Structure 1
Amino acid sequence: MAAGRGRKVLKWSAIVIVVIVVGFFYGFVPWFLAGIATTSHFHFPDPNDGKTPKTYGLEFQAIEFRASDGIGLKGWYVPAAAPARGTIVYVHGHNRTRVEMLPEAAFGHGLGYNGLLFDLRHQGASEGKVTSVGYWERLDVEAAVKDALTRERAARPVIVWGISMGAAAGLLAAADSPDVDAVISDSAFLNFSELIRHHYYLFRGFARRRWWWFPTLPGFPIVDEVTYWSAWRAGFRPSDFDLEKAVDKINPRPILFVAVEGDQRMPPSYARTLDADATSPLKQLVVLPGTRHGEGFNSATAQYQDAVKRFLANLESSAQGARATGSP
């Protein structure tokens, strides 16, 4: 009798443990990862934290504007020192702020371009409770471009220069808005589903190295759960978040694709695929030495700057040629 009760207790204890383990790995873990992607408010330390364009010797003015869905955004407008060659809108990455783009903005100013830097929604000083890793942030980029052209009466062409999430938002914005004349896409991904799949396997490898007990869980169904919950929290359909489709809509406007050779998060194969989708004769692809995600401008500065100079010079020459022939 006592032995029977003991076996029954062991049986139910085992069932409870299995339920807890399954619930943890297939319930809590996907929900936790979705939260990291969409609602966390972590800020990666940046060497430019606390700095402004003034730190780089640039005059600027603080600006505020709203995205079309009402989210308030804050940033800086940095006018060119002389008649501008155009205007560059700088867009930072996930869990970053506008200060990430200060070195790029100083470089662009030196080339004679107006600059607009701002915090994307749910980042820095801007409003918003959710990050969508670029999907809704496209509205922020469109609003920044509109603010530059209308309130600041900024010169064309308008180039959007984004890193990682900022590159994704820039590509989506350019796909929607004809006001964007060209894009510099640094360390973008292909689509939302691929982003989650790839980062799950990176997370699993990290977890296995850090916690010996973390099992080698297969991608299914966790990847699908994280994809669903992340998109649900941010309010979009994963199938709508596709940067290859965005590039197809941007065509034939020019895009400069940038990647870092050793970037595990956004490998160069992504940039090569997007470049293959682009049709502009002015498109460029540059793969820089280094290993850190989104750090190409800092790790291979001269090579990066040369690529940007060449891209902008070709864009300017093309515009001058079109004006000379009366082409639109």
Structure 2
Amino acid sequence: MQTKTVKKILIGTAALAGGTALLTVGAFDCLMRYAVARKRPRLMRSVARIVANNMAGPEALQTVHEADKALAGKVHTIVEIKASLDGIRLIGHWLPVENAKRIVIAAHGWRSTWSESFGGIADTLAKQGCSVLYFDQRGQNGSGGKTIGLGLLERYDCLDWVAWCCRQCGGTLPVYLYGISMGADSVMLSAGLDLPKEVHGIIADCGYTSPKALLNDVLHRLLHMRARFWECFPNAIYRLRVGVRSDESTVQEALHGQKIPLLLIHGQADRLASPKMSERIYKSYCGPKYILRVPNAEHALSMYVDPSAYAAALSEFWSKYDNMA
């Protein structure tokens, strides 16, 4: 009788453990689909609230919305190319200026749009003589693909857009890669590939060191899952869904041994991508580097909080490296 009771307890415990494991994997799979799938799943209310609470407030969002609308409404040319990585369609938005001094390739943030991410800086770029190719990141908006790579897939797309821009200007103008949030990672990770000599610099606003570091940071800091045990779930699911490890390349590894000029920008009140990540990148990089720290700026809002300092940092960067040999 006692043996049967013990057996039942063991079976019940195993069933409970198995059920808990399935629920855990299911919950993390939902979170990772939210992170990397084109089609966004409905999140649990508590998680959705955490995400919302770590974004900008309604006043700032209204300002961003107005800038987004203004940029999206500007006359521009839609460009379509094929990704060399896997042949998917990539869409760009070409806004040239007369007597351009340089070309800027602009990569928007996670689940954002080209006009939303860059609406607050577009007029400044135009005034400073930048013809800009804003592109839709894969798995988002007009570009093809079912998966968002958080920078690891998109780094290859940056090379394709550099090639298009070099053809567009005949290789006569300096080219800069400029990314915000996830776009910052896309452009920094592309430094580990063979960037052509036409690329004179990289600007990275509120980036992170790697998808793995970002996922783990979100788990620890925002979802309060501090045990390292939890880290294996999102990183394993990322590999299954994206096809590469979430730490296949870090920004530090991509920049190691490079000499390309780097301008880092980070709001000091950023609650999504910790400013510490930009500090780590800045500290580890041995090439020409600059950092603009914007007090009180939340995620991707530095251009709105201190537009003068932001514009000045860009202007100084161009003046230093436009004529780089």
Structure 1 residues without counterparts, runs of 5 or longer:
206-216, 323-327
- Answer yes or no: is 1:263 the counterpart of 2:270: yes
Within 5 Å, which residues of 2 pair with 1:157-176?
157-176=174-193
Query: In structure 1, what residue type is equivalent to 2:23?
Result: F
Per the alignment, residue 247 of structure 1 pairs with 255
Question: What SS does the aligned partner of 2:256 have?
Answer: helix
| 2: CA distance, partners of 1:146 / 1:132 | 21
In 1, Cα distance between the equivalents of 2:279 and 2:163? Answer: 30
Q: How many residues align?
A: 301
What is the rounded CA distance, in whole Å, between the counterparts of 1:294 and 1:159 in structure 2? 19
Q: Which amino acid aligns with 2:114?
A: R
The TM-score normalised by the length of structure 2 is 0.82
Compared with structure 1, are the counterparts of its residues 153 and 97 closer, same or farther at alpha carbon in structure 2 (3 Å cutoff)? farther
Does the CA-based 8 Å contact 2:68-2:118 persist in structure 1? Answer: no
Q: 2:81, 2:89 within 8 Å by CA — same for their partners in 1? A: yes
1:240-299 Cα shifts (integer Å, max 9, x gaps):
2210011224x2111100111011222222111111222334x21011022521221122
Q: Who is 1:21 aligned against?
A: 20
Question: Equivalent residues in 2 for 1:288-327 (5 A)?
Answer: 288-316=294-322, 319=323
Secondary structure at 2:164 match in 1: helix
AA aligned to 2:273 is M
Aligned to 1:275: 282
- Match for 2:209 among 180, 183, 190? 190
Q: Mark the runs of 5 or more structure 2 residues left unpaired by the alignment.
A: 42-54, 56-60
Shift in Å, 1:180: 2.2
Aligned partner of 1:213 in structure 2 is: none
Larger mean Cα displacement after TM superposition, 87-96 or 34-43: 34-43
Going from structure 1 to structure 2, the CA distance change for 1:22 and 1:280 (only over 3 Å counts) comes to closer
Shift of 1:6: 9.5
Aligned ranges 1:176-255 → 2 under 5 Å: 176=193, 177-178=195-196, 179-205=198-224, 217-249=225-257, 251-255=258-262
Task: Report the alpha carbon displacement of residue 32 of structure 1 after superposing the two structures with TM.
Answer: 2.1
Residue aligned with 2:65, SS = coil
Judging changes above 3 Å, is the alpha-carbon distance between structure 1 residues 16 and 54 closer, same or farther for their aligned structure 2 residues?
Answer: closer
Mapped contact 1:67–1:140 kept (Cα < 8 A) = yes
How far apart are the structure 1 equivalents of 2:218 and 2:227? 11
Distance in structure 1 (CA, Å) of the matches to 2:171 and 2:69: 24
What SS does the aligned partner of 2:264 have? strand
Equivalent residue letter for 1:231: R
Flag the 1:14–1:253 CA change in 2: closer, same or farther, 3 A.
Answer: closer
SS in 2 for 1:33: helix
Q: Distance in 1 between matches of 2:71 and 2:82?
A: 22
For 1:41 and 1:187, the matched residues in 2 are separated by 25
2:94 is matched with which residue?
A: 77
> Distance between the aligned counterparts of 2:37 and 2:88, measured in 1?
16
Alignment check: 8 A CA contact 1:73 1:119 kept: yes
Residue 13 of structure 1 and its aligned partner are, at CA, apart by: 5.2
Query: How far apart are residue 236 of structure 1 and its match?
Result: 1.2
Superposed CA deviations along residues 51-91 of structure 1, whole A, max 9, x for unmatched, are: 46473xx542121112212121112111112x211110111
Q: Work out whether residues 259 and 271 of structure 1, in 8 Å CA contact, stay in contact via their aligned partners in 2.
A: yes
1:33-67 residue CA offsets vs partner (Å, 9 max, x unmatched): 22222114349986169746473xx5421211122
Q: 1:109 aligns with which of 114, 117, 126?
A: 126
Distance 1:50 1:41, change over 3 A: farther
- The aligned residue for residue 82 of structure 2 is 66
- Distance of 1:279 and 1:110 partners within structure 2: 31
* 1:167 partner amino acid: A
CA distance in 2, matches of 1:54, 1:149: 24
Change beyond 3 A, Cα 1:50–1:105:
closer
Q: Which residue of 2 aligns with 1:209?
A: none
Alignment partners' CA distance in 2, 1:204 and 1:120: 27
Write out per-residue CA displacement over residues 162-214 of structure 1, whole angstroms, 9 at most, x where no aligned residue.
Answer: 01110111012233112422000111111232122101113423xxxxxxxxx
Q: TM-score, normalised by structure 1?
A: 0.82
1:299-328 Cα deviation digits (max 9, x unpaired): 222221121112112223xx2xx6xxxxx4
Partners of 2:170 and 2:118 in 1: how far apart?
22
Measure, in 2, the Cα distance between the counterparts of 1:79 and 1:153: 14
Equivalent-residue separation in structure 2 for 1:102 and 1:263 (angstroms): 19
